[in-house]
Chain A
């Protein structure tokens, strides 16, 4: 875990989302599914974002501007600089035989990095609209479904599922595929185990998602 002030290299809108690219400086990009805390200009707390892509010398984050912090991040311009802390948490295990990436909405954010590391395995992505689905272009070899169809209706059996998306989607994936690896989300103040804000129920106990996850085994 290191903290550095990184320069914004680019900000590209993809459907309703924004792909923010920063120079990664001395920071290690970590493993797919790990995350960084990004300083949200003008806000008290940073925001946790999983790595979307990590080309040489860069980190890219896919962000949905849904609140004051994410709106501040999506308003960043090339040349701006923000503090970034990471990499944090535990990412996806990549020693899988028949990977299938499953993503819903902004939950696809960590999957381009996973796809790259696994050599473009098949992916199944669900979105609210055609506009949101523009982000599917970040992931090769992807089948896209649009609401009212859900990814969990189109999920083939017999795969090692690596999934990220809204909670109801992850719960359904868990039921269909008990061996899946699921990337969860929770509000976090710190991202490194200090605040106890991101507690989720794991094995019947409340535990810190930033320490135990954000990727957890389904069963």
Chain B
């Protein structure tokens, strides 16, 4: 079972040992031009999660390819590059410039104003630009995420990353004004888990491509639930902020959890949520069989 980090939740150059404990490292989203990101305050804790409004801060495509990617390659672990943009051709140009990585298309950042073209259009443009594995990272805020999932699969996506953060707002307890300078931000952490589970569950029924499940994973039990809902890999996000040792811990806990339920491997538990009580597979799409 593959364990990754959520994009934007780890810097492998600053914390290589944390990244090494994962099966692959996912970069922060790269856009064609450099971005400073949003003005501070950019993060806020809430009762059951956190909000961020970083705003896709990144060095831009050129500097990433020339200066960052070579250093990441020196670390020796598999790389996923998160690609962002504000039009389909921007995504596609970055995809075309990449080699020997898996690409995750960030189709769902809640912290930029520009409305992206439809997810399927972007995936289609990127598919035409590269033969590298393409994962589409979707927002859980869509009315029907399974519908979007079907569309990106048809457009050539090799996999899905579910889910990105969902828009939220927190108010300062004293002034009752937004805590974040930008106002709203992307909500992540424990509160996101049921939302992620619902998206993975729905998309596993709707598509045949592999799913990286993420959203509120803190423990091995959380990871097992996403696998049961249909994920074939799991990513850690907010938990890395509070616990850089989470990769090893979650892996160990996952082994204990799946073996306590009689599964020889985490893979054997994949899609189990779709089975009936009688032990029969529900009539669902091939992805969970």
Chain A residues positioned under 8 Å from B37 (CB to CB): 196, 199, 206
Interface size on B, as a range, is: 20 to 34
Complex: A205 Cα to B42 Cα, angstroms: 15
Query: Which of B11, B42, B242 is within 8 Å of A197, CB to CB?
Result: B42
Contact A205–B36 (Cβ < 8 Å): yes
Chain A proximity of B30: nearest CB distance (Å): 14
Shortest 9 CB-CB distances between A and B: which pairs?
A197-B43, A193-B14, A190-B241, A189-B241, A206-B36, A196-B54, A193-B11, A45-B45, A194-B10
Known contacts: A44-B45, A44-B50, A205-B36. The answer to whether A196 contacts B241 by CB under 8 A is no
Interface string of B240-261 (1 = CB under 8 A from A): 1111110000000000000000
Interface positions, chain B 1-28, Cβ under 8 Å from A, are 8-11, 14-15, 18, 28
> Are B244 and A3 neighbours in the complex by a CB distance under 8 Å?
yes
Q: A93 at the A/B interface (Cβ < 8 Å)? A: no
User: Scoring A residues 1 to 26 as 1 if CB is less than 8 Å from chain B, else 0, what string do you get?
Assistant: 10100000000000000000000000
B118 interfacial by beta-carbon distance below 8 Å: no
State whether B15 touches A199 (Cβ < 8 A): no
Interface centre among A39, A190, A198 (most CB of B within 10 A): A190
Partner of A69, one of B15, B42, B45, B54: B45
A206 to B36, CA, bound (A): 6
B148 at the interface (CB under 8 A from A): no
Docked complex Cα distance between A44 and B42 (Å): 16
Q: Given the complex of chains A and B, what is the CA–CA distance between A135 and B26 in angstroms?
A: 45
Contacts of B190 in A (CB 8 A): 44
* Contact A44 B189, beta carbon cutoff 8 Å: yes
Tell which of A44, A198, A199 touches B242, judged by Cβ atoms closer than 8 Å.
A44
Binding site secondary structure of chain B: loop
Would you call A175 an interface residue if the criterion is a C-beta within 8 Å of the partner chain's C-beta atoms? no
User: A200 at the A/B interface (Cβ < 8 Å)?
Assistant: yes
A122 to B256, alpha carbons, bound, how many Å?
A: 57
Nearest Cβ in chain A — how far from B74, in angstroms? 18
Task: Please give the distance in Å from B169's CB to the nearest CB on chain A.
Answer: 16
Could you tell me which residues of chain B, from 38 to 80, have a CB within 8 Å of some CB in chain A? 39-46, 48-50, 52, 54, 57
**Residue numbers in B under 8 Å from A44 (CB-CB):** 45-46, 48-50, 189-190, 238, 242
User: Is B99 at the interface (CB under 8 A from chain A)?
Assistant: no
Would you give the 0/1 interface string for A60-74, flagging 1 where the beta carbon is closer than 8 Å to chain B?
A: 000000011100000
Q: Mark A150-171, 1 if CB is under 8 A from B, else 0.
A: 0000000000000000000000
Find out whether the CB atom of B40 lies under 8 angstroms from the CB atom of A194.
no
Q: Could you list 26 examples of A-B contacts with CB < 8 Å? A: A44-B238, A45-B45, A45-B241, A46-B241, A83-B243, A85-B244, A186-B40, A187-B40, A187-B43, A187-B44, A189-B50, A189-B241, A192-B244, A193-B15, A194-B14, A194-B15, A194-B240, A195-B9, A196-B42, A196-B54, A196-B57, A197-B43, A197-B52, A198-B43, A205-B36, A206-B57
| A211 interfacial by beta-carbon distance below 8 Å | yes
Q: Are A199 and B57 in contact, CB atoms less than 8 angstroms apart?
A: yes
Q: Does B173 sit within 8 A of A, measured CB to CB?
A: yes
Instruction: Specify the chain A residue showing the minimal Cβ separation from B239.
Output: A44
Contact, CB under 8 Å: A187 / B244: no
Does A117 lie at the interface of the complex (its beta carbon under 8 Å from any beta carbon of B)? no
Q: Chain B residues with Cβ under 8 A from A198's Cβ?
A: 40, 43
> Which residue, B8, B43, B238, B240, has most C-beta atoms of chain A within 10 A?
B43
Residues of chain A contacted by B54 (CB below 8 angstroms): 195-197, 199
Contacts of A206 in B (CB 8 A): 36-37, 39-40, 57
**Minimum CB–CB distance for A82 against chain B, Å:** 11
Closest residue of chain B to A45, judged by CB?
B45
1/0 per residue A39-81: CB within 8 Å of B?
1000111100000000000000000000111000000000000
B257 to chain A, nearest CB (A): 21
**Interface hub of A1, A45, A194 (most chain B Cβ within 10 A):** A194
For the complex, give the distance between the alpha carbons of A188 and B42 in Å.
9
Give chain B nearest CB distance to A124 CB in angstroms: 28
What is the chain A residue whose CB lies nearest that of B218? A44
Q: How far is the CB of A202 from chain B (nearest CB, A)?
A: 11
Q: List chain B residues, Cβ under 8 A from A193.
A: 11, 14-15
> When chains A and B are docked, how far (Å) is the Cα of A123 from the Cα of B242?
35
| A45 near B50: Cβ-Cβ < 8 Å | yes
CA–CA, A68 to B243, complex, Å?
19
Most buried by B among A46, A187, A196, A198: A196
Given the known interface contacts A67-B173, A206-B37, the answer about A199 and B241 at a Cβ–Cβ threshold of 8 Å is no
16 new A-B contacts at CB < 8 Å, known A195-B52, A199-B37 = A44-B50, A44-B190, A46-B241, A189-B50, A189-B241, A189-B242, A190-B240, A190-B241, A195-B54, A195-B241, A196-B8, A196-B57, A197-B52, A205-B36, A206-B37, A211-B14
